[in-house]
Chain A
């Protein structure tokens, strides 16, 4: 859930082709008036339904007869799995082997990394980056790996890396195969799309529990949960690449008598190289985002260090483990993105020679380090950042929590936010008769999308009622709405500012990178220290997490506005504000809508984290289920979060628009 997969870390990704069908309202006049007409029609129907509903259904919460209690069957399932896990053939001959293969592969990679020693690994990483992406990134990667060592996190970093290698390889394989199927067959494409859509809004916590139940705590469960999380972007991009292959080239190849397989191998796959590599890039980022979440189920490595530091309320130690995650993420992202951009360029002279040189240097360094007895990072070379960081956090919380003259403290703000915004919003939503909620969802989805998206949204919302978690779900919804509002207000402002000032844009980029990749567990304690326990810190954590994506998409959208339009406005004497309000923002509308959609999905992704700081509702239930091994509570809460995600996604999704780069993006 620390997903870094938002469209934009480094520029290349936002330009990823989208399967956009034009929004309905930018057609010629006739279409436009039809669209307006449609809106009015929907409005009239809604009012009629409102009156009818009031007469027929009355007020009240989700009616009990319409809900199903799944706790009995779920408990029986859970008991069956635990009782049969050691003896049933399904486990002995299938899951057991899957588990063993995962363990052995991770172990193999880990042992290779240990055998290379820190010097060998660092050299290999730097040289690989040099060959794939150039000297600057080689230096970045050298620095990143050195910092892992300097912070005393070498061994955990290698454990995380080993797990990542295996998980990413599996994701790329699985996603690639699915994408291949969807890219070659229209029917598969139709079948897979809703599946991938759903996977995209699944919060990672929701499927930790079932995976743990089958595989038990530990690396196999962590790897499989990561694959579920990281495979969809690969599948999506592979399918996209294959489908968008230049028709002319394909036809030429066909006319030359190429068979289906030849066509695939010699024309379509090579043409899709960029998308494929972007898919790998996205899989890596998603997998790293999962590193900390997976620590909750015993994945070990850096995530586990973050998680353990939490137990002793030690922000400094959590940060020391969080920083390597951020650095690994940024490095891997930049290197794979740069490698993607280089694809298609003519290979440089003596490229083979340079590769050989890189391999040779790596080998020499690894052997040298072994001879010098420098396999494990020397303890003397570590820097302790925990002390100063904790000092800073203590100072902040001591001085900002309350009693700041004039503005009050952060605790007071949090209190006001809870009392005046979150409270009324929650009570209001819970007071609404259940059918008006469904109606509102349907109308909103219709206004922005199609009949099909509206049906999905309404059904998803109804499913929440059927699952019997209507009230907590609305509580969660109120928190999401409040956090999204704050995110969008701040994000639009920052995004517009960044688009208009290059300097600000450049200054913001590393900050956004860090916020996007820093595991949320690291800032759990600071948000509680600043805002107290409750729903307000949960909202704060969500805002921090979702803000970078909104800022990026907004800035990108505003920047991409046709310069000619801007120029003509300027020549007519429009002021800066007029240019912004009347030209830039309206023209950037699709991007702003995408930002809204992403803000909503990302905020929802942090709901579970909110459960860890007193957000209560579904987030708490999901955590509770995992902590108590209670499938009935955990799975139902997880399913409700998924439904909420689907509903919010559909309600905020302009027709047909879909970002293919992956969930969270």
Chain B
């Protein structure tokens, strides 16, 4: 019985939406449209409360979203929409209200200034609990044979081993997605290394290539980051770059130091943060560890569970952890 009333409401709202579309067409040019309230047309389709989360392309971010989605749906009764967007456009979408939250941000000072300080359309959502770090990595099987490769000063010695058809006569430094933060071109130049940066163009391509190399136990040098599930499958050792100091990466052209360690941050749409009720409260409290994120990420990427299944399995085993996130 309850079911039929709900479907009746669906049809009603469809008709209503159609009528509203017509009315709005007629009104165009009269009222002002609010560009900061731009929800997805697929939201609230079943008359339920909807939260829209942005997913970035790496699996760690998928893991955060999968678990948040699972708990929002099963414990708090929300419907969750996810949209995959690159990092910078995600900030844009957040400020417009197209998504309600970003759960894992690796540091975008320019956007923070613009949207949080100047426009106040985005609010901080606190630490995710995971610390991120970018670096250069070689496979551990290679590092064990050649321990001195882990110092950047010795990299030139191995350039020939890292050579591929794509890198020409130089060694190949494999870089990833265009959406990631990278200083590698400047680093290679400023450290005067005999290397060519080859952009894989997407994380999927980079992972696929790394796994092909690993399968054949070939040496390779790659831009990579922690936390990342691939380390479980292809153990990699970091190459020491000149130590990071505050501000040494201020001028993108003069960078000659390692990448920092970044505590990853959550951000919420400002309107959602204050009016989002339980969902907003929950997302602010959401905070877990690198190991937990890796567990879920590995289930998604390696065991090929859907993010939903992976989240369900994790939630079953870690109830104590997530109970604390629920609004009391």
Q: Which residues of A contact B (CB under 8 A)?
A: 82, 85-86, 89, 91-97, 99-101, 103-108, 110-112, 114-115, 159, 162, 212, 216-220, 295, 297-298, 300, 304, 307-308, 310-314, 316-317, 370, 373, 375, 386-387, 390, 397-398, 401-402, 411, 414-416, 418-419, 423, 524-525, 528-529, 532-537, 610-616, 619-620, 623-624, 626-629
Question: In the assembled complex, which residues on chain A have CB atoms less than 8 Å from the CB atom of B62?
Answer: 308, 311-312
Pick the contact of B36 from A86, A108, A307 — CB < 8 Å? A86
Q: Is B21 an interface residue (CB 8 A)?
A: yes
For the complex, give the distance between the alpha carbons of A106 and B17 in Å: 10
Q: B11 contacts A115, CB within 8 Å?
A: yes
Q: A419 contacts B165, CB within 8 Å?
A: yes
Q: Give the Cβ gap from A367 to chain B, nearest Cβ, in Å.
A: 10
Pick the contact of A612 from B27, B84, B201 — CB < 8 Å? B201
Question: In the assembled complex, which residues on chain A have CB atoms less than 8 Å from the CB atom of B304?
Answer: 312, 314, 316-317, 386-387, 390
Q: A104 contacts B57, CB within 8 Å?
A: no
Q: Give the Cβ gap from A624 to chain B, nearest Cβ, in Å.
A: 4
Known: A86-B36, A533-B174, A623-B201. A375 touches B7 (CB 8 A): yes
Stretch at the interface among B90-98, B138-146, B240-248, B283-291: B90-98
Q: A298 contacts B98, CB within 8 Å?
A: yes
Q: A629 contacts B200, CB within 8 Å?
A: no
Which A residue sits closest to B34, measured CB to CB? A96
Other 4 A-B pairs with CB < 8 A, given A97-B28, A529-B212: A217-B89, A219-B40, A533-B206, A613-B200
Report 13 cross-chain contacts, Cβ distance below 8 Å, ordered by A residue.
A96-B33, A99-B38, A101-B21, A111-B45, A218-B38, A298-B93, A314-B304, A528-B200, A532-B166, A532-B209, A533-B206, A614-B201, A627-B178
**Interface-central residue, A110, A610, A614, by most chain B CB under 10 Å:** A614
Which A residue sits closest to B36, measured CB to CB? A86
Known: A104-B41, A216-B38, A375-B7. A614 touches B199 (CB 8 A): yes
Q: Is B160 an interface residue (CB 8 A)?
A: no
4 closest Cβ contacts across the A-B interface?
A96-B33, A627-B179, A111-B14, A534-B166
Known: A110-B41, A110-B45, A626-B86. A92 touches B206 (CB 8 A): no
Q: A108 contacts B164, CB within 8 Å?
A: no
Pick the contact of B201 from A411, A414, A620 — CB < 8 Å? A620
Q: B300 contacts A312, CB within 8 Å?
A: yes
Question: In the assembled complex, which residues on chain A have CB atoms less than 8 Å from the CB atom of B292?
Answer: none
Q: A93 contacts B33, CB within 8 Å?
A: yes
Q: B41 contacts A216, CB within 8 Å?
A: no
Q: A397 contacts B212, CB within 8 Å?
A: yes
Which A residue sits closest to B23, measured CB to CB? A104
For the complex, give the distance between the alpha carbons of A105 and B129 in Å: 41
Q: A533 contacts B32, CB within 8 Å?
A: no
For the complex, give the distance between the alpha carbons of A82 and B46 in Å: 33
Question: In the assembled complex, which residues on chain B have CB atoms less than 8 Å from the CB atom of A115?
Answer: 7, 10-11, 14
Contact with A along B112-135 (1 / 0, CB 8 A): 001000010100000000000000
Contact with A along B198-238 (1 / 0, CB 8 A): 11111111111100100110000000000000000000000
Contact with A along B162-173 (1 / 0, CB 8 A): 001110100000
Known: A623-B178, A628-B88. A313 touches B41 (CB 8 A): no
Q: A212 contacts B89, CB within 8 Å?
A: yes
For the complex, give the distance between the alpha carbons of A397 and B99 in Å: 38
Would you list which residues of chain B between 153 and 190 have a CB under 8 Å from chain A?
Answer: 164-166, 168, 174, 177-179
**Interface-central residue, B62, B178, B200, by most chain A CB under 10 Å:** B178
**Interface-central residue, A295, A401, A528, by most chain B CB under 10 Å:** A528
Known: A217-B89, A218-B83. A103 touches B41 (CB 8 A): yes
Q: Is B317 an interface residue (CB 8 A)?
A: no
Question: In the assembled complex, which residues on chain A have CB atoms less than 8 Å from the CB atom of B55?
Answer: 308, 311
Contact with A along B16-42 (1 / 0, CB 8 A): 011011001101110011111011111
Question: In the assembled complex, which residues on chain A have CB atoms less than 8 Å from the CB atom of B178?
Answer: 611, 620, 623-624, 627-628
Q: Give the Cβ gap from B21 to chain A, nearest Cβ, in Å.
A: 4
Q: A99 contacts B200, CB within 8 Å?
A: no
Q: Give the Cβ gap from B57 to chain A, nearest Cβ, in Å.
A: 4
Question: In the assembled complex, which residues on chain A have CB atoms less than 8 Å from the CB atom of B174?
Answer: 533
Known: A298-B85, A310-B57. A92 touches B204 (CB 8 A): no
Question: In the assembled complex, which residues on chain B have CB atoms less than 8 Å from the CB atom of A159?
Answer: 42
Q: Give the Cβ gap from B225 to chain A, nearest Cβ, in Å.
A: 14
For the complex, give the distance between the alpha carbons of A536 and B165 in Å: 10
Q: Is B3 an interface residue (CB 8 A)?
A: yes
Known: A219-B40, A312-B62, A629-B92. A111 touches B21 (CB 8 A): no
Q: Is B4 an interface residue (CB 8 A)?
A: yes
For the complex, give the distance between the alpha carbons of A91 and B198 in Å: 40
Q: Give the Cβ gap from A225 to chain B, nearest Cβ, in Å.
A: 14
Question: In the assembled complex, which residues on chain B have CB atoms less than 8 Å from the CB atom of A99?
Answer: 33, 35, 38
Q: B24 contacts A101, CB within 8 Å?
A: yes
For the complex, give the distance between the alpha carbons of A627 and B56 in Å: 11
Q: B88 contacts A629, CB within 8 Å?
A: yes
Q: A313 contacts B301, CB within 8 Å?
A: yes
Question: In the assembled complex, which residues on chain B have CB atoms less than 8 Å from the CB atom of A298?
Answer: 83-85, 89, 93, 98
For the complex, give the distance between the alpha carbons of A115 and B12 in Å: 10
Known: A101-B25, A104-B17, A304-B84. A533 touches B198 (CB 8 A): yes
Which A residue sits closest to B229, measured CB to CB? A312
Q: Give the Cβ gap from B151 to chain A, nearest Cβ, in Å.
A: 26
Q: Give the Cβ gap from A103 to chain B, nearest Cβ, in Å.
A: 5
Known: A82-B114, A93-B32, A105-B21. A528 touches B208 (CB 8 A): yes
Q: Give the Cβ gap from A295 to chain B, nearest Cβ, in Å.
A: 7
Q: A627 contacts B86, CB within 8 Å?
A: yes
For the complex, give the distance between the alpha carbons of A621 and B158 in Å: 29
Q: A528 contacts B45, CB within 8 Å?
A: no
Q: Is B72 an interface residue (CB 8 A)?
A: no
For the complex, give the distance between the alpha carbons of A385 and B205 in Å: 22
Q: Give the Cβ gap from B67 to chain A, nearest Cβ, in Å.
A: 15
Q: Give the Cβ gap from A266 to chain B, nearest Cβ, in Å.
A: 29
Which B residue sits closest to A629, measured CB to CB? B88
Q: B201 contacts A313, CB within 8 Å?
A: no
Q: B10 contacts A91, CB within 8 Å?
A: no
